[in-house]
Amino acid sequence: MRQQQGIHDWLWWKSEIITKLANNSEKFQMDNAFEKAIFNSEKNEPLTWFLKQKYRLCSLHPDMSDSMTNIKTLRKCRGQLEHYINCRFAEPFKTEDFINAIEDIITRTIISQAFNRNPIESKIFPKPSRKHIRPERNFLKGHNMGAPHI
Protein backbone atom coordinates (compact mmCIF):
# COMPACT_ATOMS: atom_id res chain seq x y z
CA MET A 1 0.00 0.00 0.00
CA ARG A 2 2.91 2.29 0.73
CA GLN A 3 4.26 1.82 -2.79
CA GLN A 4 0.88 2.70 -4.28
CA GLN A 5 0.22 5.76 -2.12
CA GLY A 6 3.74 7.13 -1.83
CA ILE A 7 5.39 8.75 1.16
CA HIS A 8 3.04 10.66 3.46
CA ASP A 9 3.15 11.91 7.03
CA TRP A 10 1.53 10.15 9.97
CA LEU A 11 -1.60 12.33 10.03
CA TRP A 12 -2.44 11.31 6.46
CA TRP A 13 -1.95 7.61 7.28
CA LYS A 14 -4.01 7.98 10.45
CA SER A 15 -6.91 9.49 8.52
CA GLU A 16 -6.68 6.69 5.93
CA ILE A 17 -6.79 4.03 8.64
CA ILE A 18 -9.76 5.71 10.31
CA THR A 19 -11.68 5.93 7.03
CA LYS A 20 -10.93 2.27 6.31
CA LEU A 21 -12.02 1.06 9.73
CA ALA A 22 -14.86 3.54 10.20
CA ASN A 23 -17.23 2.11 7.60
CA ASN A 24 -20.22 0.05 8.69
CA SER A 25 -19.10 -3.30 7.29
CA GLU A 26 -15.80 -3.21 9.21
CA LYS A 27 -17.64 -2.28 12.42
CA PHE A 28 -20.15 -5.08 11.83
CA GLN A 29 -17.35 -7.62 11.31
CA MET A 30 -15.52 -6.37 14.40
CA ASP A 31 -18.71 -6.60 16.49
CA ASN A 32 -19.42 -10.14 15.28
CA ALA A 33 -15.85 -11.20 16.01
CA PHE A 34 -16.13 -9.84 19.55
CA GLU A 35 -19.47 -11.56 20.15
CA LYS A 36 -18.21 -14.93 18.90
CA ALA A 37 -14.94 -14.86 20.84
CA ILE A 38 -15.36 -16.79 24.07
CA PHE A 39 -12.28 -17.62 26.12
CA ASN A 40 -11.20 -21.25 25.98
CA SER A 41 -8.16 -22.15 28.06
CA GLU A 42 -7.23 -25.02 25.73
CA LYS A 43 -7.17 -22.88 22.58
CA ASN A 44 -6.33 -19.34 23.71
CA GLU A 45 -3.45 -17.70 25.52
CA PRO A 46 -4.87 -15.24 28.06
CA LEU A 47 -2.72 -12.26 27.09
CA THR A 48 -3.24 -12.46 23.33
CA TRP A 49 -6.96 -13.20 23.68
CA PHE A 50 -7.53 -10.31 26.09
CA LEU A 51 -5.57 -7.79 24.02
CA LYS A 52 -7.42 -8.82 20.87
CA GLN A 53 -10.79 -8.32 22.60
CA LYS A 54 -9.65 -4.98 24.00
CA TYR A 55 -8.54 -3.87 20.52
CA ARG A 56 -11.92 -4.86 19.07
CA LEU A 57 -13.84 -2.96 21.75
CA CYS A 58 -11.64 0.12 21.44
CA SER A 59 -12.11 0.18 17.68
CA LEU A 60 -15.90 -0.12 18.08
CA HIS A 61 -16.23 2.29 21.01
CA PRO A 62 -13.20 4.60 21.25
CA ASP A 63 -14.68 6.60 24.13
CA MET A 64 -15.23 3.54 26.37
CA SER A 65 -13.27 3.56 29.63
CA ASP A 66 -10.75 0.86 30.55
CA SER A 67 -12.87 -0.45 33.40
CA MET A 68 -15.89 -0.84 31.11
CA THR A 69 -13.72 -2.61 28.53
CA ASN A 70 -12.49 -4.99 31.23
CA ILE A 71 -16.03 -5.71 32.41
CA LYS A 72 -17.26 -6.46 28.88
CA THR A 73 -14.26 -8.71 28.27
CA LEU A 74 -14.85 -10.46 31.60
CA ARG A 75 -18.36 -11.39 30.45
CA LYS A 76 -16.78 -13.27 27.52
CA CYS A 77 -14.88 -15.59 29.90
CA ARG A 78 -18.05 -17.29 31.19
CA GLY A 79 -18.48 -20.08 33.69
CA GLN A 80 -16.10 -20.78 36.53
CA LEU A 81 -13.38 -18.48 35.24
CA GLU A 82 -15.71 -15.47 35.32
CA HIS A 83 -16.82 -16.42 38.83
CA TYR A 84 -13.24 -16.78 40.10
CA ILE A 85 -12.21 -13.40 38.68
CA ASN A 86 -15.30 -11.71 40.16
CA CYS A 87 -14.41 -13.18 43.55
CA ARG A 88 -10.87 -11.77 43.36
CA PHE A 89 -11.65 -8.17 42.45
CA ALA A 90 -14.09 -5.37 43.03
CA GLU A 91 -15.69 -3.91 39.89
CA PRO A 92 -13.12 -1.29 38.80
CA PHE A 93 -9.97 -3.34 38.22
CA LYS A 94 -6.88 -2.74 36.14
CA THR A 95 -6.01 -4.50 32.90
CA GLU A 96 -2.76 -5.93 34.27
CA ASP A 97 -4.54 -7.38 37.29
CA PHE A 98 -7.17 -8.92 35.03
CA ILE A 99 -4.60 -10.65 32.78
CA ASN A 100 -2.55 -11.83 35.77
CA ALA A 101 -5.67 -13.23 37.42
CA ILE A 102 -6.67 -15.19 34.31
CA GLU A 103 -3.18 -16.68 33.97
CA ASP A 104 -3.02 -17.50 37.68
CA ILE A 105 -6.44 -19.14 37.77
CA ILE A 106 -5.75 -21.22 34.68
CA THR A 107 -2.41 -22.51 35.93
CA ARG A 108 -3.60 -23.27 39.47
CA THR A 109 -7.04 -24.77 38.90
CA ILE A 110 -8.57 -27.62 36.98
CA ILE A 111 -10.04 -25.25 34.37
CA SER A 112 -6.96 -25.64 32.19
CA GLN A 113 -7.22 -29.43 32.04
CA ALA A 114 -9.08 -31.03 29.18
CA PHE A 115 -12.16 -33.14 29.92
CA ASN A 116 -11.36 -36.87 30.05
CA ARG A 117 -14.20 -39.29 29.43
CA ASN A 118 -12.19 -42.24 30.75
CA PRO A 119 -11.35 -41.61 34.39
CA ILE A 120 -8.33 -43.25 35.96
CA GLU A 121 -10.42 -45.73 37.98
CA SER A 122 -11.74 -47.41 34.85
CA LYS A 123 -8.18 -47.95 33.64
CA ILE A 124 -7.06 -49.53 36.93
CA PHE A 125 -10.10 -51.76 37.50
CA PRO A 126 -11.46 -52.87 34.13
CA LYS A 127 -14.99 -54.20 34.08
CA PRO A 128 -15.35 -57.92 33.30
CA SER A 129 -16.60 -58.67 29.85
CA ARG A 130 -20.08 -60.17 29.57
CA LYS A 131 -19.65 -61.81 26.20
CA HIS A 132 -19.57 -65.39 27.57
CA ILE A 133 -22.69 -64.92 29.76
CA ARG A 134 -25.84 -65.93 27.93
CA PRO A 135 -29.31 -65.50 29.39
CA GLU A 136 -31.37 -68.66 29.83
CA ARG A 137 -34.60 -68.82 27.87
CA ASN A 138 -36.78 -71.60 29.33
CA PHE A 139 -40.04 -70.29 28.02
CA LEU A 140 -41.72 -69.97 24.67
CA LYS A 141 -42.11 -66.68 22.96
CA GLY A 142 -45.06 -64.76 24.35
CA HIS A 143 -45.29 -66.75 27.61
CA ASN A 144 -44.31 -65.79 31.09
CA MET A 145 -41.89 -67.95 33.00
CA GLY A 146 -44.53 -69.02 35.52
CA ALA A 147 -47.12 -69.92 32.88
CA PRO A 148 -47.57 -73.65 32.08
CA HIS A 149 -46.09 -74.77 28.78
CA ILE A 150 -48.46 -76.75 26.56
Is 146 inside a domain boundary? no
Number of domains in the chain: 1
Q: Is 132 inside a domain boundary?
A: no
pTM of the predicted protein model: 0.58
Specify the pLDDT at position 94: 83
Mean pLDDT, each 10-residue run in order, the chain (150 residues): 74 78 77 87 86 88 86 85 82 82 82 58 61 58 58
The answer to whether residue 61 sits within a structural domain is yes
CA angle 118, 40, 78 (to 5 degrees): 105
CA nearest 98: which of 60, 61, 72? 72
**Domain annotation covers residue 88:** yes
Q: What is the pLDDT of residue 98?
A: 84
Residue 63 confidence (pLDDT): 85
What is the domain range of residue 24? 2-113
Q: Is residue 8 part of a domain?
A: yes
Evaluate whether residue 119 is within a structural domain: no
12 falls within a domain? yes
* 102 in any annotated domain: yes
Position 110 scores a pLDDT of 66
Provide DSSP, the chain: -HHHH----HHHHHHHHHHHHTSHHHHHHHHHHHHH----TTT--HHHHHHHHHHHHHHH-TT--HHHHHHHHHHTT-HHHHHHHHHH--SS--HHHHHHHHHHHHHHSGGGSPP-SS-HHHHHSPPPP-SS------S-TT--TTSPP-
